[in-house]
Amino acid sequence: MCSKNGATLPKDMADIADAEGVRVVVMKDFLRYTTSGPLAGFLAWLFAKYPAVRDRALADPWFLYKLAVEVLGDVGLAVAGEATSRNDASALDEAEARSISHWFPYDRVGVVNAFFLSDVVSSVFLNGAVLTMLSPAVTLGKTPGGRKALIVKSRIGGRLNHFMRLVFMAQPPGKMPASIFAKAGHRVIPYAWKWRGLALLAQGVRIAAVSGAIGFVGQGTSNAVCALRRKYWSGSYSKAYAETVRPESPPLLEPAVEWALFTGTDANWRQQAIIGVERVIEGAASGGGKVSSIVARASSAAIRIANNAWGGERFASRMRRMEDEVARRHGESP
């Protein structure tokens, strides 16, 4: 089927096909994505590079749209917020004052650009990971996600992509859905409510673990940038920051813990609630024609962007409280 359509299966899908076969309906959807339309080439690359994304896209026709809304919406909100803050003198003064007392370097010219980019990249990765973990994955062959085939054929091989797919972004056990309001899909027996409730809690733990790791790596990277700048471009800092008592010690663990706690509870619950609302919207739009589909997608985008804006403000408030607490523990006034 692939050779006839001029397509090449990603290596992991080829391994699954050799070991247990790939379902025909899945193969047809894969070919539709990767051989037709203006984005066919990009999707072929994306599906080969990121199996977790591919498995969700093949299970949910709306997944790629939702992922694009999450990523582009988050970037847009970040850029708009940054532009507003840079035009607000009082916001700049407050940010600089807080950063000096809390070790986070703030510079009206240079540092803010580097740290803004770091925050945006971390947030984009986190939003994409959360949506992926809460979305159902297609069953490619006889076993969910082809896990048995990959293990039997020893294709994990320490590759980060397969590790993330099997551990962090793998499809949950057969009785448990990806989220509390997930559709039963091709299942003959609907999900029991006790398993749906367990999904709410279990996915919160997974999301907390992943977001904590992202927060730790992101803050560590930011600290490394600070260290390099102090060593090689110390003159580029403002005089106020250069006179900071402890500029070399931005906290590492506290931001990561804050990320984990917030996303594992607040963000997880909001995302799962959105999935439930979208299920109602998609059900109402099905069979309603092109106009209904456009309205449904616009509604989904509006809900997700509003959630990102509201959630971002809630998270920023928590981080400010965390900074105050850390500063007090080190004997500095907030």
Residues in the chain: 334
Two tokens at 32? 């539709």
Query: In 3D, which of 71, 91, 94 has the Cα closest to residue 83?
Result: 91
- Cα–Cα distance for residue pair 150/156, rounded to 1 Å: 7
Q: Within the chain, which residues score under 70 in pLDDT? A: 1-6, 81-116, 118, 143-174, 185-188, 234-250, 327, 330-334
What lies within 8 Å, CB to CB, of 319 at 6+ separation is 255, 258
Q: What is the pLDDT of residue 147?
A: 52
d(CA 233, CA 225): 11
pTM metric for this prediction: 0.78
Dihedral of the CA atoms 76, 82, 83, 84 (nearest 10)? 110
pLDDT of the residue at 112 = 52
Using CA atoms, how far residue 270 sits from 36, 196, 198, 262, in Å, is: 35, 15, 16, 11
What is the predicted pLDDT for the residue at 5? Answer: 67
Beta-carbon neighbour count of residue 273 at 10 Å? 16
* Alpha-carbon Rg for the chain in angstroms: 23
Q: What is the structure's pLDDT at 144?
A: 57
pLDDT at 164: 54
Query: Angle at CA 300, nearest 5°, toward 311 and 134?
Result: 65
Burial class for 7, CB neighbours closer than 10 Å (0-12, 13-18, 19+): middle
pLDDT (tens digit per residue) in 125-164: 888 889 999 998 888 877 655 555 555 444 444 455 555 5
Question: pLDDT digit string (tens) for 245-279?
Answer: 454 556 778 888 888 999 999 999 999 999 999 99
According to the model, what pLDDT value does residue 70 have? 92
Q: What pLDDT was estimated at residue 63? A: 95
Mapped onto helix, strand or coil, the DSSP state of residue 303 is helix
Q: Give the C-alpha separation, 222 to 179, whole Å.
A: 33
Q: What is the dihedral of CA 97, 103, 104, 108, to 10 degrees?
A: 40
323 with 98: CB under 8 angstroms?
yes
CB 241 within 8 A of CB 100: yes
Q: Is 229 exposed, middle or buried (0-12, 13-18, 19+ CB in 10 A)?
A: middle
According to DSSP H, which parts of the chain are helical?
11-19, 24-35, 40-49, 51-59, 63-86, 89-102, 111-133, 147-152, 160-163, 193-232, 239-242, 253-262, 268-285, 289-329
